[in-house]
Amino acid sequence: MQTDQFRTFRVAASDLNGQMRGKRIPLATYDKLHAEGTRMPLSVLNVDIWGADIEDSPLVFESGDEDGILKPTEHGPVPMPWLDSPSALVPMWMFRDDGTPFAGDPRHALRRVLDRYAERGWTVQAAVEMEFYLVDDTGHQLAAPQNPISGRPVFGNAILSIRQLDAFDSFLTALYDACDAMDIPADSASSEAGLGQFEINLAHRDAMAAADDAWLFKALVRGMARRHDMAATFMAKPFANDAGNGMHVHFSVLDENGNNIFDDGGPKGTPLLRNAVAGCLAGLAGGTLIWAPHGNSYARFTPGAHAPTGNCWAYENRTASIRIPSGPAKARRIEHRVACGDINPYLALSAILGSALAGIEDGLEPPEPITGNAYDQDLPGLMPGWQAAIDRFERDPLMARIFPPELIRNFTMTKRQEIRRLAELPPEEHWLVYLETV
């Protein structure tokens, strides 16, 4: 990308909540980024949802809040079409002074998992389906957006409605143009079950690039919605009586010859697919805090409300947590359907792919795939609430195989602080905390 067309740059890395943390820099200092990076406190990637330091965090109170070095990722700069001035964003990740990756950086966590696949000569291809709401946030509570054609609030469910897509065509067209500019491979768009809810699928590519896509896409959607006089949110459950937002992850694994290790030439998939499915199931409970990282997340897990809650898998069954889609055998893949839309994409893909790899490493076998409606079956589920999810994540042996101890410590400290602070706010104000932060 030509950089001389931009007046300023943002340099940003993902914190544990998936928020962008960084700086605004002038064009004159851009060339120094690759050679020198830019210094920022390590603790900036371990702040709470409000951006506050974590009380008693070792990063602040034991190490003197030492600096790390943000360096550009391999992704490269992208334009920021939601801003009025010509600006670009340079995705970064954090390193310590000695050049080692900072273990509390969620992007490094995913790199660790993908390196374990690479040791076997494998690469992971992944794609995400991103659900979000367009909303009116001008009042004291969230409301459905106005139909751009009629000027009246959207009403009535519009599942796969072409009419609703057409009504918001100006926004969606601008969003797709912006995705092209940012090299985000936006594929199909659909109107979903909630009032003003949409889903956009991002195409398969290398798993790290897919996580980058999801992270950038969330910022883009929120920014473009504001340019169209709306707000956009990936909150897991913006409206109590409507469907929640999820992020479905599809993945397959290619060997060194480019062959899909899940492809057996038929609809069932290979033994390695079954091992990976078993690993994903083994990680569901321990990874609950990853799939549901915020207080609002747990409102999404209502049986029958389009959010899988049971520890099960199935072929071509959207009520199951782990689904094997139909289609050509060479494209055989696993779909992980549990994560809420408010997740950190790097942590989510780390937990999903790390669990799958553990299933392969241990030769795990899953139970038989279910048939019928998973909501009608007596199945073990996720952890029942936020506090329980934090406690389980902190001590779960499978999560400890996936994430470094420093990240587990930092993430659980962050979430415990958020529980305390959120309890001080009246419930009717909780949406203000999450609207555009997640």
Burial of 281 (0-12, 13-18, 19+ CB in 10 A): buried
List the one residue out of 43, 41, 95 whose CA is nearest residue 73.
Answer: 95
Using CA atoms, how far apart are residues 332 and 321, in angstroms rounded to an integer? 17
H or E segment and range at residue 250 = strand 247-254
pLDDT in tens, the chain (438 residues): 666 678 789 999 999 999 999 999 888 888 888 888 999 999 999 999 999 999 988 887 666 679 999 999 999 999 999 999 889 999 999 999 999 999 999 999 999 999 999 999 999 999 999 999 999 999 889 998 888 777 777 766 666 567 778 888 899 999 999 999 999 999 988 877 677 899 999 999 999 999 999 999 999 999 999 999 999 999 999 998 888 999 999 999 999 999 999 999 999 999 999 999 999 999 999 999 999 999 999 999 876 667 888 999 999 999 999 999 999 999 999 999 999 999 999 999 999 999 999 999 999 999 999 999 998 898 998 999 999 999 999 999 999 999 999 999 999 999 999 999 999 999 999 999 999 999
- Please answer whether residues 104 and 410 qualify as being in contact, where contact means their C-beta atoms are separated by less than 8 angstroms: yes
Which pLDDT belongs to residue 159?
Answer: 62
Residue type, 247: M
User: How crowded is the C-beta side of 276, counted as CA atoms within 13 Å?
Assistant: 28
Set out the domains of the chain in order of their start, with CATH numbers: 8-105 (3.10.20.70), 113-434 (3.30.590.10)
CB-facing half-sphere around the CA of 144: CA atoms within 13 A: 22
Nearest-CA neighbor of 231 among 86, 85, 432, 50? 432
Residues 6+ positions from 43 with CB-CB distance below 8 Å = 53, 54, 57, 59, 60, 65
pLDDT, residue 34, reads: 83
Measure Cα distances from 381 to 2, 190, 414 in Å.
Answer: 49, 29, 24
User: Which amino acid type is present at position 35?
Assistant: A
How far is the CA of 301 from the CAs of 57, 336, 355, in angstroms? 31, 15, 21
Tokens at 61, concatenated: 């109170």
**pTM assigned to the model:** 0.96
How many beta carbons lie within 10 A of that of residue 174, not counting itself? 16
Crossing angle between the packed helical segments 207-227 and 106-119, to the nearest 10 degrees: 150
